Each structure stands twice: as C-alpha cells, then as structure tokens.
C-alpha cells in the first residue's frame, strides 16, 4: 500500500495531506510506526556507554515521532469528523497504542538507564529544562509501574488496555444519543419567543433532512437558544430531558456500567502503584497536590458563593411567580426565566448583541489583539489542505518568519462532537514549529446573514484561542515540555485570561461592529455586558463547583463503594442545586471531560485557573490591557515556557507574587 502516513509530508510547512489520507491507512501506519519506535528503544538500551542525559533521555524524547503525528491525526479526526469506520479504527488502534506505551514504560533495561541518569547525572551540567525533562521522565516510569513485579505489570497492562477502550466507547455513546434526538416542529405557534435567526437555522436544518417545518437538535447552537427563548414550556421540557438522558437511556448507549467499570479500574490502577486513590495519583502531579487541598479549595469557594446563589435563586423564583405565572421552577425553566430577568434588570437582550459579533469580524479582532499583545500576524492560506470544506488554515508569523499553523473549525455537523476544544496536530520543539487547531460549535451562517455569535460564543472563541496561543507561541527545546504540556490545573490559565479581552471597551472597539451598518458597539451596551458578567455569578459558581465535587467523588478513596451512578450523583450535588432532579436524567453519563477527556480528578482546575487568571489580569488592568511590557512578560514566563519549570515558579516570575484567591471573588462581584 502506498501509505502517506509512513512518509514525510512534502506539503507547505509539512501540513497534513488530508485529501490523500484514507481510513485504511491508519492501522498499518501505526503498526509500522510502533515497530520503528521499539527498534529505537532497543538501540538506546543496547548502548555499551554509561547512561547519560544525552544518550538516554534525549534519545528517548525523540522516539516515536511518527506515532505521535499519526495518532494525533486519528484521534483529532475522530472528534471532529468521525464515522463508523473511523470509530472502529480508533477502537482497533487504542489497544495497540496502550500496549506500546506499556512496552516502553515497563521496559526494565530502559528504566534502569533512566534511573541511573536520574541518580547520577550532574544537575549543574544541565539546563533547568533538562532537569525538568529528566525528573518528568523518571517519574512517568515510576508512576506507570516501572518498580512493579512482573505479575503486577501484567495487571497494569490489562487495566490500561481496558480503560483506553472504555473511554472511546463512552464518547461514542454520548455522540450517538446526541445525534439520535431531533425536535421536529411543524406548528409555527410552537416557535414563539425564539429569535428569527434561530428559527431560520432550524428551518435550514429541516430542509437538510428533507423535512418540512423546523428541526432543533442537542447541538449547543440549537439547544441553548431553544432552552433560553422558547415560550413553549412542554417543548423546553422535552429538549431538557433528552439532553439529560444522553448515556442514560434503556438502550445500548447507556454509560452507567461503563462509568462503574472505569472508576473501579482507575482505583485498582492507583492501588497497584501504591496510591490510596486515583485522585491521589493524579494530584501528585498538580499544583493542588492532594485531595484535601482540592476539597478545601472547593469548600472555601462554595462557602463564599452559596449565600449569593441563594439570594439569586429567591430573586429568580419571585420574578417567575410574579411575571411569568410559574410557581414551581423546574430544570427546563431556569435558562428561560434567567434570560427574562436579565432583560428586565439589565435591559439586556442577548439577541440584541449578536448583530455586533459576526464571526469573521470577531476573528479579525482576535487576531489583531494577539498582534498587539504578542506581535504575531495570522493570514489565511487556502492552499493548505483541511479535513472538511468548513475548516480554514492560517499561517502564523512572528518577527517576519513562520511560527505556527492554525486550523479553525467552527460549526456543528454530523460526525463532530459537541463543545469546544483546542488540539495539536504537530508539537513544537527546537527543530519544528507547531500545528494547532481550535474546534467549536457556533451558530451557522444562514442564507440571509453571516454567523452571528452570542456573547458566550465570543468568550468561548477567545478561550480556545488562548489555548492555541499556548501552543503556537511555545519555545522549548523538547516537545514533551512544550505548549499545553503543563500541570493540568495550570493549563487553563492562558485560555481563561484571554476571555478578559471580551469585556474591555478598548478591545471591543476592534471587533464588535454591527454586521450590516458597521457601527461600533455602543458604550451603553458594553456597560450592560460588564454588569451581565456579575449576573447570577453565585449560581454559576455553584454549578461549576458541583462538577468539581462530583468529579472528585468518582476518584477519591471511597470511589469503589459507588454502586449506582445516578444515586451517587444525586447525593453529591443535590445540596448545590435549586431545581428538582428529574429521575430520568443523569449528568454523569455524559460527563465527557472526566470519562473521555483528561480531566479525571481535575475538573476543579477550571476554578483553580480562574483564580490565576483573575489575579494575572489585574496586572494588565493596572498597566493597560495592551501594555507591551506586561504582555511580553506573560509571553516570556508563561506562554513560551510550557512545562519547562514548575507552574508556580513561572507564575511568580510573571506576577511577582503568588496568586491572590480574592481576585476571583472581586471579579465575580462576590467579594
């Protein structure tokens, strides 16, 4: 087979030749790449020379380059442009890759060389980055079973193989349930309250499915506005219950048993490695370091947020009773009533904002902000191949030279999972520049108007672009310490700090312009946006904290006692919720962040990073949001450094002090 995945990409910037890559190329390419990498490892272990950083750690760092490239392609496509054949391929590839990782991590000869370097290498002869790489490599071997006996190593292999497949299956089930639902409306009166653009999008969705009327789905650009504006309460209930039933129905996609098996295996794995829980294992390599620290962090924020949330709930209930005739607020009412209350209190209708945020203009403004802060220029290159016609590729330049490649993929479609994320197709190191991608699910353009973003979609775009900056501006020697390869509770700092530029008049003036008139967003509207940032912050904080508590409970020392996912979820978070919990719904069975993504025992990190970003942005506010000195310091000490030093060390180098937790409360209006 002429397999492009086994060759060097002879394309602009060695970008992926998507048009030449076929699904059947992946498995042969991965098998061959594994064979090559294992040969490289054998060459390392066969050396007669005494182990050194150069002949062992650096050589290992360069191993498996082909595997990294090809698996990034496979798993990224599986998230953004999947099919049944591609899902089967990822299921086939997953055990191969897990076995390969274990063949490396459980290789005694290799570990003995690494251990020798760790114990004997002169640290004074190494750079800070080299010391970090050495310690990371040694720890990763120990944390993946290098010190176990043969029987325990085999158990670890079996656990890892099963976990990797369960994780893929979990995601496939959520996607299948998401796509199986459609709300088909044929009576125009059932559309009452919905904005014209949302109705138009639903009509086009119906046309694409060769049906009359309007179709709403569980994709966010369809689901969120429906729940926010639709006056038909019964239809809101129908959508809400469908959304909450993903992975929790009496069908082959039910994820309940998968969750129980995942948490059981994670606990077993941790115990094999002499940790009390999966959380203890994970948090050892986090800024938080322990379950106790995370729980204390969640408790302190909860204590501060709950009184404010209770007041906000009472206000919402009273407003609903007096103005909307709703005496009992249910789960499917909160977004709808909150929007009505916001309109009444702040005189702010989110739909009035959308004309000021056409996607193309916001993207231009975002690129302009990145240029002002970090001196980069982004220019679309239509000759670079992409995996879907909607995907665009941009060259990123800095100091008149190529710095990175950025792919953007903005609209929902069949075969693309919900949500928004940044990912990498090629990492950065001293010999190569990175290729990164941001994937979102925004409101599509219609025949009559461009894609107009809600303000929440604007902040999502800035958030994901912040992650992209972390990847694109990386400047490290080694790939495994580059970009977003940092402690998990530090990785959200670059993304969350970017959201702050969504609220500043000086930044908004660059991109918030009416798509028809070109009018800059009025200052009165900006003031309303800023006030809206404080709207129901108590309730929003409790919601995020409830996810953090739930995640921790699935991975703490008592996780193996869980017998019923639904009952456990209810026991964990009911005290932080204000509406009744529908028995046919379960959030956990679609909690992809922790059962499919990398946030297991780490969901708290969103709030943790919010503390960092609120504190960090206060420095920008003191010096000016486009202050070159501040931006250069953030670039030099955070964005470019990846995981080359401990994150607190990097943060203090930028900020001059440790983060102040009250900065988050001040910004949220809860202090």
Point out the residues that are catalytic.
464
CB atoms within 10 A of CB 522: 12
> In terms of Cα–Cα distance, which of 209, 177, 1, 171 is closest to 86?
171
Strands 435-439 and 421-426: antiparallel
> In terms of Cα–Cα distance, which of 44, 64, 46 is closest to 54?
44
Our measurement of the distance from residue 136's CA atom to the centroid of its chain's CA atoms, rounded to an integer in Å, reads 23
Q: Are 511 and 364 in contact (CB under 8 A)?
A: yes
CB atoms within 10 A of CB 146: 21
Q: Are 425 and 333 in contact (CB under 8 A)?
A: no
Task: State the DSSP code for 18.
Answer: T
Our measurement of the distance from residue 668's CA atom to the centroid of its chain's CA atoms, rounded to an integer in Å, reads 22
CB atoms within 10 A of CB 602: 27
Q: How many separate helices (H) and strands (E) can be counted in the chain? A: 27, 7
Dist. CA 425–CA 177, nearest whole Å: 28
Segment holding 469, helix H or strand E: helix 455-472
Which residue bears the tokens 């299948």? 176
Dist. CA 140–CA 144, nearest whole Å: 6
CB atoms within 10 A of CB 206: 19
> In terms of Cα–Cα distance, which of 440, 504, 489 is closest to 468?
440
From residue 119, alpha-carbon distances to 115, 135, 136 in Å are 6, 10, 14
Dist. CA 586–CA 590, nearest whole Å: 8
Residues 6+ apart with CB under 8 A from 236: 226, 227, 230, 332, 333, 336
Structure tokens at 602: 């780490």
Dist. CA 560–CA 277, nearest whole Å: 9
Q: What are φ and ψ of residue 468, in 5° steps?
A: -60, -40
> In terms of Cα–Cα distance, which of 297, 204, 261 is closest to 603?
297
Structure tokens at 433: 């520049």
For residue 513, what are the β-bridge partners? 520
- Per DSSP, the three-state class of 6 is helix
- Quickly list DSSP for 24-86: GGHHHHHHHHHHHHHHHHHHHHT--SPP-IIIIIHHHHHTTHHHHHHHHHHHHHHHHS--HHH
């Amino acid at each position: 087979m002429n397999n492009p995945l086994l060759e060097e990409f002879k394309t602009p910037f060695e970008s992926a030749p998507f048009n030449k890559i076929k699904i059947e190329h992946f498995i042969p390419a991965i098998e061959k790449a594994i064979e090559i990498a294992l040969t490289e490892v054998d060459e390392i272990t066969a050396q007669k020379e005494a182990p050194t950083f150069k002949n062992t750690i650096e050589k290992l760092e360069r191993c498996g380059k082909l595997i990294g490239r090809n698996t990034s392609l496979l798993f990224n496509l599986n998230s953004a442009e999947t099919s049944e054949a591609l899902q089967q391929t990822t299921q086939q590839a997953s055990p191969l890759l897990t076995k390969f990782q274990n063949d490396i991590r459980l290789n005694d000869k290799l570990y003995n060389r690494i251990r020798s370097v760790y114990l004997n290498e002169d640290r004074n002869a190494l750079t800070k980055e080299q010391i970090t790489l050495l310690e990371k490599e040694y720890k990763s071997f120990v944390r993946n079973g290098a010190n176990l006996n043969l029987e325990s190593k085999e158990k670890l292999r079996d656990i890892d193989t099963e976990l990797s497949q369960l994780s893929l299956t979990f995601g496939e089930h959520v996607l299948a349930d998401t796509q199986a639902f459609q709300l088909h409306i044929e009576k125009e009166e059932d559309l009452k309250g919905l904005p014209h653009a949302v109705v138009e999008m639903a009509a086009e969705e119906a046309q694409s499915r060769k049906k009359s009327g309007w179709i709403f789905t569980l994709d966010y650009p369809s689901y969120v506005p429906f729940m926010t504006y639709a006056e038909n309460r019964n239809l809101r209930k129908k959508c809400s219950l469908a959304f909450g039933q993903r992975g929790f129905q009496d069908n082959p996609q039910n994820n309940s048993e998968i969750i129980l098996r995942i948490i059981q295996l994670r606990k077993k794995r941790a115990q094999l490695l002499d940790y009390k829980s999966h959380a203890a294992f994970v948090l050892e390599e986090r800024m938080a370091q322990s379950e106790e620290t995370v729980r204390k962090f969640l408790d302190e924020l909860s204590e501060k947020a709950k009184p404010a949330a209770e007041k906000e709930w009472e206000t919402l209930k009273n407003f609903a009773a007096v103005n909307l005739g709703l005496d009992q607020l249910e789960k499917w009412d909160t977004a709808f009533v909150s929007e009505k209350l916001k309109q009444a209190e702040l005189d702010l209708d989110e739909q009035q904002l959308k004309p000021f945020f056409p996607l193309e203009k916001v993207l231009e403004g975002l690129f302009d902000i990145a240029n002002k802060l970090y001196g980069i220029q982004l220019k679309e290159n239509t000759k670079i191949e992409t995996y879907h016609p909607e995907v665009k590729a941009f060259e990123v330049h800095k100091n008149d030279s190529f710095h990175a490649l950025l792919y953007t993929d903005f609209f929902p479609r069949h075969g693309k999972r919900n949500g928004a994320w940044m990912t990498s197709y090629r990492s950065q190191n001293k010999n190569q520049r990175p290729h990164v991608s941001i994937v979102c699910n925004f409101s599509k353009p219609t025949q009559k108007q461009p894609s107009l973003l809600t303000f929440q979609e604007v902040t999502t775009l800035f958030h994901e672009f912040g992650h992209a900056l972390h990847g694109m501006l990386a400047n490290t020697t080694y790939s495994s310490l580059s970009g977003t390869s940092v402690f998990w509770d530090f990785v959200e700092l670059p993304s969350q700090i970017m959201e702050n530029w969504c609220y500043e008049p000086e930044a908004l003036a660059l991109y918030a312009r009416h798509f028809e008139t070109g009018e800059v967003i009025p200052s009165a509207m900006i003031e309303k946006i800023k006030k809206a940032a404080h709207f129901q912050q108590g309730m929003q904080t409790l919601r995020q904290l409830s996810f953090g508590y739930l995640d921790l409970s699935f991975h703490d020392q008592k996780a193996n006692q869980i017998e019923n996912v639904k009952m456990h979820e209810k026991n964990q978070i009911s005290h932080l919720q204000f509406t009744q919990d529908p028995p046919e719904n379960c959030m956990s069975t679609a909690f992809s962040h922790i059962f499919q993504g990398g946030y297991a025992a780490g969901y708290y990190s969103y709030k943790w990073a919010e503390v960092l970003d609120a504190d960090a942005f206060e420095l920008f506010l003191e010096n000016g949001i486009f202050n070159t000195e501040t931006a250069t310091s953030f670039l030099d000490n955070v964005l470019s450094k990846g995981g080359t030093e401990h994150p607190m060390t990097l943060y203090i180098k930028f900020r001059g002090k440790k983060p102040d937790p009250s900065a988050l409360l001040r910004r949220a209006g809860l202090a």
